[in-house]
Structure 1
């Protein structure tokens, strides 16, 4: 398996813990999503255990890329927060498992084995959350606009990068704010991130 976790102490502890299991082998451990994808393409693990919040490419984006580029590698997401948006994005990314970091070590080991065996795993404390997932109201283009705004781009830069007119970007932002019942662009970014839509 491959392990991606940006916090060195946690990653080292997980590598040591998993190394105690006779049927599990960590073939690579990395600190960000880009390195996770690259290492997976080299080592071709059966399972990638990915932290959600990593610098650069996050775990959910890495899981989606692994699904497309290395379908035999199944992803198990680890997170410190069980927000509905993360769970929504995880399901949309085709992950095989979603587990909280507060789970007991035995649960993590069991989850890895289940994911490797082709099963799906959802942290029991998140089962009710799964029912509360709201449908994504944003169009793909609105998501493109909002992702760039989330990166700090101003409307003129968004227009240039997406090859749109400034008026079209303003119209998209107005529609996004209205759809998300947000107070403005910054609030719309927050709502969309918490909901897992961007």
Structure 2
């Protein structure tokens, strides 16, 4: 469905692989689905081809994930309105999606017939965030890892030791130890392996 014949304020796009969402939106007279994509690279291409008013971005797409796609789109178009959509409610993933530039974050299970109202709210400039996720995000904020701490932990998750991590990031080995100490404290982890498990479960790592 294209937006020809509709006023500019009514242009919408759905970039989610679930046709169920598209089916709900197709029945809305003021919403036109202008494109769908099944991976993050295609989502970026179609966004810049069509410049939709609102984008629903699945975070669990192949090739290029949703968070990376959001970041890339917002880098070129800071005004892009993107709602992150996922099945996972991990605190870290919520934070990373918002940091990447998402205008909101919703779970697929909470969409249903209310997706049209979410799209309209985002288009009106309001942040779309499920109440339970907003509360969880606020409570979890003190435990969020910095970008560098995530970099260190991601390399640890790949099996690298402190020396290898230091070489990879171009920092001192003692600095790596300091970052890991902060990570263990923030995540209340007993050791580095436990920290990786916690971070993966919370969606803090790719």
Q: TM-score normalised by the shorter chain: which range applies?
A: 0.7 to 0.9
Contact 2:21/2:115 (8 A) holds in 1: no
Quote the residue 1:3 is aligned against. 14
Deviation per residue, 1:9-58 (Å, 9 max, x gap): xx223223322222222222112223322321222111110122233433
Cα distance in 2 between the residues matched to 1:195 and 1:172: 19
Q: Secondary structure at the match of 2:126?
A: coil
Residue in structure 2 matching 1:154, options 129, 151, 160: 160
Structure 1 segments unaligned to the other structure (5+ residues):
none
In 2: Cα distance, 1:186 partner to 1:40 partner: 39
The corresponding residue for 1:188 is 195
Q: 1:13 aligns with which of 4, 14, 20?
A: 20
Residues 4 and 32 of structure 1 are in contact (CA less than 8 Å); yes or no, is this contact kept in structure 2?
Answer: no
Displacement of 1:139 in angstroms is 4.1
Measure how far apart 1:112 and its partner are.
Answer: 0.6
For the 8 Å contact 2:13–2:52, the answer to whether it is kept is: yes
Q: CA deviation at 1:75?
A: 0.9
Q: CA RMSD in A?
A: 2.8
Partners of 1:87 and 1:130 within 8 A in 2: yes
What are the Cα deviations for residues 104-142 of structure 1, in whole angstroms up to 9, with x where unaligned?
533111101111122222223434324322324644332
How does the TM-score come out when normalised to structure 1? Answer: 0.77
Once residues 37 and 158 of structure 1 are traced to their aligned partners in structure 2, the CA distance between those partners, rounded to angstroms, is: 32
Q: Which residue of 2 aligns with 1:68?
A: 75
Residue 109 (structure 2) aligns with: 102
Report if the CA contact (8 A) 1:99-1:122 is conserved. Answer: yes
Residues 84 and 132 of structure 1 are in contact (CA less than 8 Å); yes or no, is this contact kept in structure 2?
no
